[in-house]
Each structure stands twice: as structure tokens, then as C-alpha cells.
A and B are shown apart, each in its own frame.
Chain A
Amino acid sequence: MNLHPSSRDRARVFALVAACGLGGAAPALAGGPELTLIAGASAASLDAAPDSELSWGAARLAWGDRLQLRAEIAWLDAEGEGSLAPPGLGPVAPVRRGKGPGGNGSGPGSEAAGSTLGASTGEATEPASPAAEVRGWGDLRLGAAYRLAGGGARLYRIDLGAAVKLPTADEQERLGTGELDARIGLSGEYRFWSLTLFGGAGFNHFGEPAGAAFDDVLDAYLGVESQPIADRILLSGWLEGHPEVVEGGGAYSALGVGLRTLGSVRFELQGRTGLGDTEGDWSLSFGVSFGLRPPGAGPSGVRR
């Protein structure tokens, strides 16, 4: 009998403590909690290997404005080779199979993403079928953002954000790496009369399962968003990217477009297409957000 807690067990305990902390802090945060439900799909072409495809449904709970806390959990449905749930959070792309040595699946990327992930638990594991379809809960993600400057009616805003991905997912089913990842970053915006310029950058640290080697990387993104059209709809476009995470895996860059609405119930649609090394990759997501404790709608239904 193995009495040593696995990384998942430790993550679950940590998640429980964090959830209690979030619950305790919630009353001190401005505004009621807000629930966001998200559905999405993405695919990555892995050189000569077949596409890996992932669809998911997620729930995110967020509190506060100047200080915002968030927790998110997702249900995943994935199919493909290698790691279906790559490391990282934030603007960090999936680990791709190596394009260098051993390019077609035998490079460092595939090693990290493949059968070695289970070794992090210290248990003997059988690698999952390389092209099997798996379903299950993904990792729990916790994040916080604090507004350093601006916001409200000011033309600019600067936020400091930090987040962790707790390894609550089953890494043997390739729904996670079984390791904790973390990101810290800055984001900001400046509002012109007709559009808003936004951007951000962050540092990403990846936990490394046994046999895997991930480089910690910086990421960045920059884009513009329209002023509300018809008081309600905002359109945006941006570029995002970061250096390669796995040697030979290639840098990640993508063009994103988005549409979101304002109001008491808000919708968001986002799409991305890979550029350069990630050309052919794509993702789509759709989200709806609403307050769980509406503080009262204004004349136009705009929440405070």
C-alpha cells in the first residue's frame, strides 16, 4: 500500500485550502461573484503526426475588480498523440513535437509529452495509447490580478497577475502533466477615442515530469479592440507568442480575433490561428458570463 501522497493528492489538498481562502476573501472583494461558462475546441498539427484535437467545457468563478481572484476547472475531451494537455497556463502554447532531432515524434517534445508523464507520481505506469481518446477533469487553475494603476474612467490600466495550475488532472490519462505550473505577468491597456490598445507580458514556469525538459519562457501579446458598437459589441485582434518550450519544438505565435458583448449577460467568441512554426494550428472558444449575485441592473441592463 502506498501511503505517500501523489502530486494529485497534494494538489487536491492545496486546492481545498485555496478554495477556503477564496471563500473567506470573497466578502472583502468588491462586487458579487461572476460565473463564466466556456466551451471551445482546438487542434494542432504535429508535423507528420495526425492532429491532436481537444474540446472542453469549463466553469470559471471570479470575484472582485481592483483585486480579482479566479478559479477554473474544465472537462476535457481530447484525441491525438502525445500530451493532450500540455504544460502551462496563460499565453503558453502546447509543447509540440520536436522538429529538430528525431522530429517526427521522437524528439524531446514527444518524450516530454508522451509516456514519461506518469513517472512523476513515482508509480509504474503504462503509457496511454498514443492516439486514444480520453475524457476527464483537467487541472484546477487559480489566479489573482491586482490593478496597479489606472482603471475605471482613466484612459489606461495596468494589472499585475499571477496564476498557478494545480496538477489535479489525471496525468496517466494525459489530461495534465502532473506538475504545478505558474505564471506572473503584467497586462495593460490604453483607450483612444475609437479603439483600445492592449498588451501584456509574463514569465512562465513549468513543472517538469520525470524525463521531460521544459524551458521557462517569457510570453507577450499586443492587440487592439474597438469601442463598443451599438453600445454592446466589441471587436478585437491581436498577436501573441513566446519562444519554444521544448528544444526543437519551435516558437509559438498566433493571430487572434475576438468578439465580446457588454451587458448583464455577456458573450465572448475568440479564434486563433497559428503563425510560423504553429501554422495550421487553430482554436475557437465561446463563453458566457453572468453575475451570480446581480447588484441591480441599470437602465440599460449594464451591471455596475
Chain B
Amino acid sequence: MTAGRGLLLLLACTAAVPSASAATADPRRSELETLEGTVLALEEVAGESDLPVLVAHLDRGDGREPARVLLAPRAVLEEIELEVEVGDRIKVRVFADEGTPFRVHRLRNETRGTMAKLRTLSRVPLWSSTGAWQGGGPHGPRGLGPHGQPPVERGRPPGGGAGPGGPPGR
């Protein structure tokens, strides 16, 4: 089998993975909007499961009224070391079709060098009704991925060889 045929097979397999192609056309993504700015103030409101959830007032620097974005319970943010404080510069992806405060899908704190997903695309929070974080790592548990774990165990043909996966070889 040639490398070309191998890649064709890979592409065929890729297409077979459930919803891989559909994912890019996910209608839920059309409601997402990216906001960036400085946190002017923080407050707590009753959020999902009636837990107090942090709301950040975001100054986007364009003279518009600050955007209110619904983050997560303060304890959850502390647990995953994703703290947000007044003065921090953050970037958020929000569900923009809702009224304010916009629920945040993903949060990046540029000031503190942290980032995590807070809700699924179905807008389900990644913490339990008791406030326990259930979202795993930034990309879920370390898996097989090309960088999910040290290269030594990455997909390499177990008989030998290599890769950040394995060798194209034997």
C-alpha cells in the first residue's frame, strides 16, 4: 500500500467518525460571539441550579455599554485555577442570542494565562448542581492525542518504531 492510499484510507476513516463533518456546520455555533475586554466589576447572581454565579462587566474599549457575561461559581473557577479579578483582560465566547448576562462557553484570562471551557455548546454548565467541577482538563483527560501524553506512547506501532505517534515505518 502506498502512502497515498494510506492517507486516502485515513481520510475515509475521518469522514466516518460521527459528526466530524457535521461539526463544522453545527447550528449552535452560529449563536456564538467572541468578546474581549477588561473586567470593570464582578457581581454574583443566581445562575444554573440556583448556584451563585460570577458575572463580569466587560469593558470592550469601544465606548459601548459594558457587556455582562455569566462565568461560573467562584468556587469552581478557583478549583480549576481560572480566577478572574477586576482589571483582568479576558476573552470570552458567549451565547449571544440570549439576554444579558450572556452565558460564557469558553473563557481565556489573558492577564493570568489561563483558559477553559465552562459550558457545552448545548449550554450545559460543566459543574454539578452542588458546584463540583466536571469538565476535566482544558481538553478533557489526557488521551492518545498527538500531545495528549508523552510521545513514547503515542500511537506508535507497538512492535517498535515511533512517532509522536509512531513511525510510518514498520
Which A residues contact B (CB, under 8 angstroms)?
Answer: 31, 34, 36, 38, 40, 42-44, 51-54, 56, 58, 60, 62, 65, 68, 70, 72-74, 76, 78, 80, 83-94, 96, 138-139, 141, 143, 145, 151-156, 159, 161, 163, 165, 169, 175-177, 183, 185, 187, 189, 191, 193, 196, 198-200, 202, 219, 221, 223, 225, 228-234, 236, 238, 240, 242, 252, 254, 256-263, 266-274, 278-287, 289, 296-300, 302-304
Instruction: Please indicate the chain B residues that have their CB under 8 angstroms from the CB of A257 in the complex.
Output: 7, 10
| Residues of B in contact with A, size category | 35 or more
Q: Are A285 and B165 touching (Cβ within 8 A)?
A: yes
B150: CB under 8 A from chain A? yes
Q: Are B23 and A161 touching (Cβ within 8 A)?
A: no
Complex alpha-carbon distance, A86 and B24, angstroms: 40
Instruction: Please indicate the chain A residues that have their CB under 8 angstroms from the CB of B122 in the complex.
Output: 300
Which B residues contact A (CB, under 8 angstroms)?
Answer: 1-3, 5-7, 9-10, 13-14, 17, 19-20, 22-24, 26, 29, 80-82, 91, 108, 113-117, 120-122, 124-128, 133-170
Instruction: Please indicate the chain A residues that have their CB under 8 angstroms from the CB of B20 in the complex.
Output: 229, 233, 259
Dominant secondary structure of chain A at its interface with chain B: strand
Q: Which of A70, A272, A281 is close to B165, meaning CB atoms less than 8 Å apart? A: A272
Q: Are B152 and A161 touching (Cβ within 8 A)?
A: yes
Q: Are A268 and B2 touching (Cβ within 8 A)?
A: no
Complex alpha-carbon distance, A52 and B164, angstroms: 21
Q: Are B81 and A65 touching (Cβ within 8 A)?
A: no
User: CB-nearest residue of chain B relative to A258?
Assistant: B146
Complex alpha-carbon distance, A151 and B137, angstroms: 8
Q: Which of A199, A232, A270 is close to B19, meaning CB atoms less than 8 Å apart? A: A232
Complex alpha-carbon distance, A93 and B113, angstroms: 36
Known contacts A185-B151, A240-B164, A297-B134; is A58 also within 8 Å of B158 by CB? yes
Complex alpha-carbon distance, A202 and B121, angstroms: 38
Known contacts A153-B114, A289-B144; is A298 also within 8 Å of B159 by CB? no
Q: Are B169 and A94 touching (Cβ within 8 A)?
A: yes
Nearest CB in chain B: distance from A123 CB, A: 22
Q: Which of B19, B138, B170 is close to A152, meaning CB atoms less than 8 Å apart? A: B138
Q: List 6 A-B contacts (CB under 8 A).
A: A42-B169, A68-B142, A187-B150, A225-B145, A284-B13, A300-B124
Known contacts A42-B161, A86-B169; is A302 also within 8 Å of B135 by CB? yes
Inter-chain CB contacts under 8 Å: number = 355
Q: Are A223 and B146 touching (Cβ within 8 A)?
A: yes
Known contacts A268-B143, A289-B144; is A78 also within 8 Å of B159 by CB? yes
Can you name 19 extra interface pairs (CB under 8 A) apart from A266-B144, A282-B3, A289-B143?
A43-B6, A43-B170, A54-B170, A65-B137, A91-B156, A91-B167, A138-B160, A145-B150, A152-B138, A156-B113, A225-B145, A230-B23, A238-B146, A268-B144, A282-B2, A284-B13, A285-B155, A302-B120, A304-B135
Nearest CB in chain B: distance from A291 CB, A: 8
Q: Are B170 and A42 touching (Cβ within 8 A)?
A: yes
User: CB-nearest residue of chain B relative to A286?
Assistant: B13
Q: Are B145 and A94 touching (Cβ within 8 A)?
A: no
User: CB-nearest residue of chain B relative to A280?
Assistant: B3
Q: Which of B126, B136, B166 has the most CB of A within 10 A?
A: B166
Q: Which of A96, A196, A259, A304 has the most CB of B within 10 A?
A: A304
User: CB-nearest residue of chain B relative to A257?
Assistant: B10
Complex alpha-carbon distance, A68 and B142, angstroms: 10
Instruction: Please indicate the chain B residues that have their CB under 8 angstroms from the CB of A151 in the complex.
Output: 137
User: CB-nearest residue of chain B relative to A113?
Assistant: B170
